[in-house]
């Protein structure tokens, strides 16, 4: 493979004076493409360049829209016990755990390419979005969000590559709040309480800082490396101190208690990203003969007998040819919150009226695509730091740092700068004690570019996280009330991207909570740590809100609705729930209602999105799903991980909580 970086040339035609549009930026992209554009994995294609022609009717399966299935000539050996659709975080875990049974054969299909080396470099995270390994989805225009974005649409990145979004994300390891999982269980999903999911987090984990976390809540020896970055510049430590000055305690946010601050743990190993592909697939690839992997395999639909309602295989495109593979036991859909609904709906499983309007035979009427949630954030609240604290360097120094990292996996590029500091707080809108509704993530910026054109600067940002002279302290909404929906593209339901109606901030309470999060973040300016860094708030109104006085309630509301962004934590479109739940798509063992031998195992099953980053919960869901499958087919209760003693969360009265955890403003 050869990785292709984001094409920023079109955007740069608008402004040529942005730093990101100068020749050194393009030279940097060319350099890292040459040095890191290839993959350490070589594709294993069981067909080579051969293939089978498309049929005349994509819905031509028995009992379907006509055409029959006689155009397919099944090659010998195209039968597997399990077929896993999508090699993202969940798919990689499932492929690993199911092939632990030597007698089971597994086919893992991925629409994207092999994981390129450029993804290994932590500070290169911004350059992965809008590159050749990102699906590059966009939301539909909405009157309540993304108003200043081009065409009123927000970009929603998703990994199209081995490892999925774990290959392009910012590597943050956060599990969520214990009450998130207890609520899942209380809503009719037995087995999903915090006490019952914690062992599955621990099962995957190989924690390298076990002496500095709450040991009883963490695992050692699992496939997934979890650690803190070794490289931390002075600004990172100052930001960490600033949050503590505001009364936020240092806590292990993965052990049960979230409100407070911590130096993040990440899915990295010795200064290098550890995607789900690297963690769960590379150790077994070529070693387990019962695992077959096909990349660049675009999944069309699950094959389901419309009479017996049994899933028996999958149809996919590769090299311009259409193939079928058969599953003796189960088909497992792990395509994520956006693409899993598409695959199910193309297979005849989804809202009946929507499918009928597109000429798709309805096999099972289910609310697929509904209950869409996200953790929205915003651009626009900018902090400048003094020249003494800024880490901007000349292009020649960046080049030296790139070559140094290439040799040593160390230096400024081996971490994510100030993003290492993570904080959870509670605003006045969250009434349950000890449960956060805002998370703060600290992004880096070149202040001159962002003041010149905030939208263009954000869309052309490809510089490493190591070099900056300003911050964007992003409040992240953790408990959105608004819900969206995913639908098929009516113009081209098969190859067209699904239609995303995010409905972000459609509920006023979500926007108001974000405003409160902005106000609380401004208290950082009062801290000694930030003053030492020479931090100041940039009070120049952003273009879309220059009709309001800076800092007023109306100004912040305008900013929230105009400069909406996302933390890429989409969830909920194939909701897990009891049979009587009208919005449930899968049962508590992740089986699709009304269809045999078909499960959904990814973030789309979340009844409510967890409060925090979603990669660790996705891996947990897959670990638990793998055991459900083993229980079913091994005809015995599978040996579950040992349930640890749960750390007790100290009780605190409400007045004390306000005094300790709330920012005063």
Q: Does 485 appear as a known binding residue?
A: no
User: What distance, in Å, lies between the first and last C-alpha atoms of the chain?
Assistant: 52
Q: Is the confidence at residue 52, as pLDDT, over 50?
A: no
Query: Which tokens is 514 given?
Result: 């974000």
56-60, 147-151, 642-646: lowest mean pLDDT where? 56-60
Q: Per the domain annotation, does 201 fall within a domain?
A: yes
- Examine the domain organization and report whether 463 and 609 are in the same domain: no
Phi-psi region of 235 (alpha: psi -120 to 50; beta: other; left: phi over 0): alpha
pLDDT of residue 635: 81
CB atoms under 10 Å from CB of 220, counted, come to 12
Q: Per the domain annotation, does 30 fall within a domain?
A: no
Give the Cα separation of 224 and 226 in Å (integer). Answer: 6
What would the pLDDT profile of 126-176 be if each residue is shown by its tens digit?
A: 999 999 999 999 999 999 999 999 999 999 999 999 999 999 999 999 999
Active-site residue flag, 307: no
Q: Per the domain annotation, does 306 fall within a domain?
A: yes
- Examine the domain organization and report whether 401 and 319 are in the same domain: no
Element (H or E) spanning 180, and its range?
helix 178-186
Task: Among 550, 566, 582, give the residue marking a domain's end.
Answer: 566
- Examine the domain organization and report whether 243 and 198 are in the same domain: no
Q: Per the domain annotation, does 412 fall within a domain?
A: yes
43-52, 63-72, 292-301: lowest mean pLDDT where? 63-72
Q: Are 336 and 570 in contact (CB under 8 A)?
A: yes
What would the pLDDT profile of 465-514 be if each residue is shown by its tens digit?
A: 999 999 999 999 999 999 999 999 999 999 999 999 999 999 999 999 99
Instruction: Provide the pLDDT confidence category of residue 14 given band limits of 50, 70 and 90.
Output: confident
Element (H or E) spanning 300, and its range?
strand 298-305
Q: Is the confidence at residue 520, as pLDDT, over 80?
A: yes
- Examine the domain organization and report whether 443 and 551 are in the same domain: yes
Q: Is the confidence at residue 19, as pLDDT, over 80?
A: yes
Q: Is the confidence at residue 402, as pLDDT, over 90?
A: yes
- Examine the domain organization and report whether 498 and 606 are in the same domain: no
Q: Are 86 and 602 in contact (CB under 8 A)?
A: yes
Please name every residue paired with 226 in a beta bridge, in sequence order, or none if there are none.
207
- Examine the domain organization and report whether 541 and 596 are in the same domain: no
Q: What is the CATH number of the domain that holds 174?
A: 3.50.50.60
Q: Is the confidence at residue 612, as pLDDT, over 80?
A: yes
- Examine the domain organization and report whether 452 and 378 are in the same domain: yes
- Examine the domain organization and report whether 144 and 189 are in the same domain: no
Strand ranges for 557-603 from DSSP E: 564-566, 598-600
| Strand 376-378 to 564-566 pairing | antiparallel
Give the Cα separation of 87 and 291 in Å (integer). Answer: 13
Backbone angles phi, psi at 220, to 5 degrees: -130, 135
- Examine the domain organization and report whether 292 and 430 are in the same domain: no
pLDDT of residue 665: 37
Task: Among 510, 532, 566, give the residue marking a domain's end.
Answer: 566
Backbone angles phi, psi at 573, to 5 degrees: -80, -5
- Examine the domain organization and report whether 238 and 213 are in the same domain: no
Q: Per the domain annotation, does 288 fall within a domain?
A: yes
- Examine the domain organization and report whether 558 and 588 are in the same domain: no
Backbone angles phi, psi at 313, to 5 degrees: 170, -165
| Catalytic residue selected from 73, 307, 569, 580 | 569
Nearest by Cα to 609 from 654, 569, 646, 568: 569
Q: What is the CATH number of the domain that holds 559?
A: 3.30.560.10
* pLDDT, mean of residues 378-405: 96
What would the pLDDT profile of 181-195 be if each residue is shown by its tens digit?
A: 999 999 999 999 999
- Examine the domain organization and report whether 402 and 426 are in the same domain: yes
pLDDT of residue 527: 97
Alpha carbon 215 to chain centroid, angstroms: 26
Count of helices and strands (H, E) across the chain: 17, 23
Q: Per the domain annotation, does 557 fall within a domain?
A: yes
Q: Is the confidence at residue 267, as pLDDT, over 70?
A: yes
pLDDT of residue 13: 86
Q: Per the domain annotation, does 387 fall within a domain?
A: yes
Q: Per the domain annotation, does 516 fall within a domain?
A: yes
pLDDT of residue 17: 85
502-535 as b/e: b if 16+ CB within 10 A:
bbbbbeeebbbbbbbbbbbbebbeebebbebbeb
Task: Among 549, 566, 583, give the residue marking a domain's end.
Answer: 566
Mean of the per-residue pLDDT values of the chain = 91
What would the pLDDT profile of 76-90 be if each residue is shown by its tens digit?
A: 348 999 999 999 999
Tally the domains of the chain.
Answer: 2
Distances (CA, A) of 317 to 6, 24, 248, 310, 492: 25, 39, 52, 22, 16
Domain around 476: 138-149+229-263+374-566
């Amino acid at each position: 493979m050869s990785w292709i970086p984001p094409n920023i040339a079109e955007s740069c035609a608008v402004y040529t004076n942005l730093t990101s549009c100068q020749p050194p930026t393009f030279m940097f992209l060319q350099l890292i493409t040459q040095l890191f554009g290839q993959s350490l994995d070589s594709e294993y294609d069981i067909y080579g360049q051969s293939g089978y022609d498309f049929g005349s009717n994509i819905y031509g399966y028995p009992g379907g829209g006509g055409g029959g299935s006689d155009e397919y000539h099944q090659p010998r050996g195209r039968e597997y016990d399990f077929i896993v659709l999508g090699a993202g975080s969940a798919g990689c875990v499932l492929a690993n755990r199911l092939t632990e049974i030597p007698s089971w054969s597994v086919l893992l299909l991925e629409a994207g390419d092999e994981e390129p080396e450029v993804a290994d470099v932590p500070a290169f995270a911004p350059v992965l979005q809008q590159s050749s390994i990102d699906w590059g989805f966009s939301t539909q225009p909405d009157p309540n969000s993304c108003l200043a974005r081009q065409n009123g649409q927000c970009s929603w990145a998703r990994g199209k590559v081995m490892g999925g979004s774990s290959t392009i994300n910012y590597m943050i390891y956060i599990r969520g709040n214990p009450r998130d999982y207890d609520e899942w269980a209380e809503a009719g999903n037995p087995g999903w309480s915090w006490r019952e999911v914690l062992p599955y987090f621990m099962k995957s984990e190989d924690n390298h800082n076990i002496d500095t976390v709450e040991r009883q809540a963490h695992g050692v020896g699992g496939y997934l490396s979890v650690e803190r970055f070794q490289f931390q510049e002075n600004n990172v430590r100052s930001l960490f101190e600033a949050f503590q000055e505001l009364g936020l305690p240092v806590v292990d946010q993965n052990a049960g208690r979230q409100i407070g601050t911590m130096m993040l743990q990440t899915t990295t190993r010795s200064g290098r990203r550890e995607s789900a592909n690297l963690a769960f697939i590379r150790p077994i690839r070529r070693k387990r003969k019962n695992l077959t992997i096909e990349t660049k395999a675009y999944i069309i639909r699950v094959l389901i007998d419309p009479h017996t309602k049994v899933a028996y295989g999958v149809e996919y495109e590769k090299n311009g040819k259409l193939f079928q593979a058969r599953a003796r036991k189960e088909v497992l859909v792990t395509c994520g919150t956006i693409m899993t609904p598409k695959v199910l709906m193309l297979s005849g499983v989804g809202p009946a009226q929507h499918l009928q309007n597109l000429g798709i035979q309805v096999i099972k009427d289910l609310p697929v695509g509904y209950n869409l949630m996200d953790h929205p954030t915003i651009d626009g609240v900018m902090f400048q730091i003094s020249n003494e604290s800024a880490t901007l360097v000349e292009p020649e120094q960046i080049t030296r740092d790139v070559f140094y990292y290439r040799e040593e996996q160390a230096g400024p590029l081996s971490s994510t700068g100030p993003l290492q500091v993570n904080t959870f707080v509670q605003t006045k809108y969250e009434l349950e004690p000890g449960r956060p509704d805002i998370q703060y993530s600290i992004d880096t910026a070149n202040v001159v570019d962002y003041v010149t054109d905030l939208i263009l600067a954000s869309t052309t940002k490809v510089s490493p996280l190591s070099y900056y002279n300003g911050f964007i302290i992003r409040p992240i909404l953790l408990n959105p009330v608004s819900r969206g929906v995913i639908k098929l593209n009516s113009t081209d339901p098969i190859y067209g991207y699904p239609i995303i109606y995010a409905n972000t901030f459609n509920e006023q309470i979500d926007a108001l909570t974000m405003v409160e999060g902005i106000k609380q973040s401004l208290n950082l300016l009062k801290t000694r740590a930030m003053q030492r860094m020479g931090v100041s708030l940039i009070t120049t109104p952003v273009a879309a809100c220059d009709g309001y006085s800076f800092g007023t309630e109306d100004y912040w509301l305008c900013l929230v609705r105009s400069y909406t962004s996302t933390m890429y934590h989409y969830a909920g479109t194939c909701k897990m729930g009891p049979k009587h739940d009208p919005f449930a798509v899968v049962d508590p063992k992740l089986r699709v209602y009304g269809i045999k031998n078909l499960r959904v195992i990814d973030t789309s099953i979340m009844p409510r999105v967890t409060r925090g980053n979603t990669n660790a919960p996705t891996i947990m869901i897959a670990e638990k799903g793998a055991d459900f499958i083993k229980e079913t087919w091994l005809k015995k209760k599978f040996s579950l991980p040992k349930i640890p003693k749960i750390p007790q969360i100290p009780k605190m009265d409400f007045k004390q909580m306000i005094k300790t955890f709330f920012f005063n403003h």
